[in-house]
Structures are given as C-alpha cells and as structure tokens.
Amino acid sequence: MNFKVATLVAFASLSLGAFAYARQDKSMDTNPMVGGASMMKSMDIVGNAVNSPDHTTLVAAVKAAGLVDALRAKGPFTVFAPTNAAFKLLPDGTVDTLIKPENKDTLTKILTYHVVAGLYDSKALKAGIKKGNGTFMVKALNGGTLWFMMNGPMNIVVKDEKGGMASISTYDVYQSNGVIQVVDKVLMPN
C-alpha cells in the first residue's frame, strides 16, 4: 500500500469514527419515551405530562388542585411524577376523594410534596447522596422533606415523611422548565 492510499484509508477511518461518535452524541439528545409518548425537551412539565398515558391520574390531580399554571412557570423544578400504577396502590377511593373540591388543600399539599425547586437530575441526586454519606435531604415546595438513597449501585429511592419508599423508574426526563423523575409510588407528607 503506497503512502497516499494509506493516508486515505486512515483519514476515512478517522472520519467514520468521528461520524459514529457524533451520531452517538446526537442520539443522547433524543427525547425520552414515557408511557410510549415522546417527552419533548422544548415543552414544559405540564405539556409533557398531558401527553404521557402513564400520568393521566397525575394530570387530573394537578388540574383539580389548580396547579397547572404553577407548573408552567419558568422554574426550574424537579417533579417526582407518580405513574397511574402508583396511584392505584393507594387505598380504594383515595384519588376520587382527593380530587373533590372540598379536599383541594390536602390534594395541593400532596402534589406540591412531589415538586422541588431547582434541577435535581440523577447526577445531582447521586452527588448529594455521596456527599451526605448515603442520604440526601431536599425540601419540597410544600415545606416537607424528601430523603434520597441508593438501592444498589444504580437505583435511587425516595423516602417520604411517612416512611414510604419509591423508586425512580425513569430518570432525567428534561423539560423546558426542569426535569421529571418518574416514581413508582405516591409520596406522602406528614
């Protein structure tokens, strides 16, 4: 192989490698899927939640509590978003009772317990857990406390004020005004 051919082969190999690397980085920018729906980074928390078939109960509760405008604000916010399956784990009739107008204050307290001011993606949560020697404490918008811990090398769990534990099942769903962490249980404040 002469020098020109060897140079062309080397250049082609480097170009293909750079192209593959750029494609890999581009794929990391794609919008994640939640409940079979694409979560668009350009949309706000409410806009994406409305499109998720896994969060219809949460969306109905947010509307009943009158929190739509608050969750469309600039933020950033971190929302620990329980799935429909998480709401089904509550005692029968709980959701129906909570969305009644006379229970708006209780519903608001529970929902704002799932929201934290600031951007807490998995990297920030893990760093807080490491710095806190295994536990990271954060104040929710309702004034309550959430505790974060590792459950194994990769899974982050959230402990609520009642001692309940929820796992984050889908991490780092970035929004235009924050990030959603999907959780498998409803978090309960005192």
Confidence of residue 3 (pLDDT cuts 50, 70, 90): very low
187 pLDDT more than 70: yes
Percent of the chain residues past pLDDT 70, beyond the cut: 76
> What are the tens digits of pLDDT across the range 68-109?
999 888 889 999 999 999 999 999 999 999 999 999 999 999
pTM of the entire structure?
0.79
What does the mean pLDDT of the chain come to? Answer: 82
Confidence of residue 159 (pLDDT cuts 50, 70, 90): very high
Percent of the chain residues past pLDDT 90, beyond the cut: 62
Asked which of 6-10, 104-108, 150-154, 165-169 is least confident by mean pLDDT, the reply is 6-10
40 pLDDT more than 80: no
pLDDT at res. 98: 95
pLDDT at res. 13: 34
Calculate mean pLDDT across residues 34-57.
Answer: 70
pLDDT at res. 15: 33
Per-residue HEC secondary structure of the chain comes to CCHHHHHHHHHHHHHHHHHHHHHHHHHHCCCCEECCEECCCCCCHHHHHHHCHHHHHHHHHHHHHCCHHHHCCCCCEEEEEECHHHHHCCCCCHHHHHCCHHHHHHHHHHHHCCEEECCCCHHHHHHHHHHCCCCEEEECCCCCEEEEEEECCCEEEEECCCCCEEEEEEEEEEECCEEEEEECCCCCCC
